[in-house]
């Protein structure tokens, strides 16, 4: 699924060359916790994130994110691993009268499809959601961006949600460095995976 969606977005960019495709690859380090049957297990997870975003127009965007990770938890001898995929579309709104000079403010709202598979000990867990995305971003004239975003299915926010703070800075033409912090929680069939994720990566614009 990951390869198909990335290939689709890159094909769109080559056929409609006036628009912009952004590809971001990041390393993940997570302070994670798994709760199962009133037991808590903590540990660190390493992983990788691959994200693509295609600008359909100045206001409308399509995006796809894949995240995978694995690690050992205290008190267990088995690995915990997961793979998650998020495909969504969003509308962006610009605010011209922002209080800070040399900065502009934008908002975004969207919706999508989320799928996650996890393995803990010998058991496999699967979940599917249709989350809503809300976000805000400020950008200065040099291209530095600071973003806040939240994601979750409205009727299941107690069990499945995430919030992110990210920082983006240009380092050369069409190449940015990105740092992101995400706090998240997801629960399915008695297994809850939550934690704090730290990302560092590079973003390329085509």
- The closest alpha carbon to 147, from 183, 185, 105, 116, belongs to 105
The CA–CA distances, whole Å, from 59 to 9, 161, 165 equal 17, 25, 22
Q: Which residue has the higher pLDDT, 92 or 77?
A: 92
In 3D, which of 167, 171, 164 has the Cα closest to residue 204?
A: 171
Reported confidence tier of residue 78, pLDDT bands at 50, 70, 90:
low
Is the separation of the CB atoms in 165 and 150 below 8 Å? no
* Residue 180, Ramachandran bin (φ over 0: left; ψ between -120 and 50: alpha; else beta): beta
166-195 tens-digit pLDDT: 999 999 989 999 999 999 999 888 889 999
Chain segment 40-65, per-residue pLDDT in tens = 888 899 999 999 999 999 899 999 99
* Residue 11 three-state SS: helix
Record the pTM: 0.86
Q: Is 84 within 8 Å of 69 (Cβ atoms)?
A: no
- Rounded average pLDDT over 77-88: 88
Output 154 or 165, whichever has higher pLDDT. Answer: 165
Mean pLDDT of 58-83: 87
Residue 19's pLDDT is 67
pLDDT the model gives residue 4: 47
Average pLDDT, the chain: 87
Task: From residue 179, give the alpha-carbon distance in Å to each of 2, 24, 113.
Answer: 22, 11, 24
Mean pLDDT confidence for 155-168: 92
């Amino acid at each position: 699924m990951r390869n198909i969606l990335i290939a689709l977005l890159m094909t769109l960019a080559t056929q409609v060359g006036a628009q912009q495709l952004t590809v971001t690859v990041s390393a993940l380090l997570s302070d994670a916790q798994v709760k199962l049957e009133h037991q808590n297990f903590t540990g660190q997870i390493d992983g990788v994130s691959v994200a693509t975003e295609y600008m359909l127009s100045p206001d409308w965007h399509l995006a796809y994110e894949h995240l995978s990770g694995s690690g050992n938890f205290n008190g267990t001898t088995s690995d915990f691993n997961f793979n998650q995929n998020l495909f969504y579309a969003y509308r962006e709104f610009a605010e011209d009268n922002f209080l800070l000079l040399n900065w502009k403010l934008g908002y975004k709202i969207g919706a999508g499809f989320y799928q996650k598979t996890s393995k803990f000990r010998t058991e496999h867990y699967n979940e599917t959601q249709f989350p809503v995305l809300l976000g805000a971003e400020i950008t200065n004239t040099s291209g530095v961006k600071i973003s806040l975003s939240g994601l979750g299915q409205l009727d299941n926010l107690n069990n499945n949600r995430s919030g992110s703070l990210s920082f983006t800075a240009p380092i050369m033409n069409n190449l940015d460095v990105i740092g992101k912090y995400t706090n998240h929680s997801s629960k399915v069939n008695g297994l809850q995976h939550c934690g704090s994720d730290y990302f560092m990566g590079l973003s390329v614009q085509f």
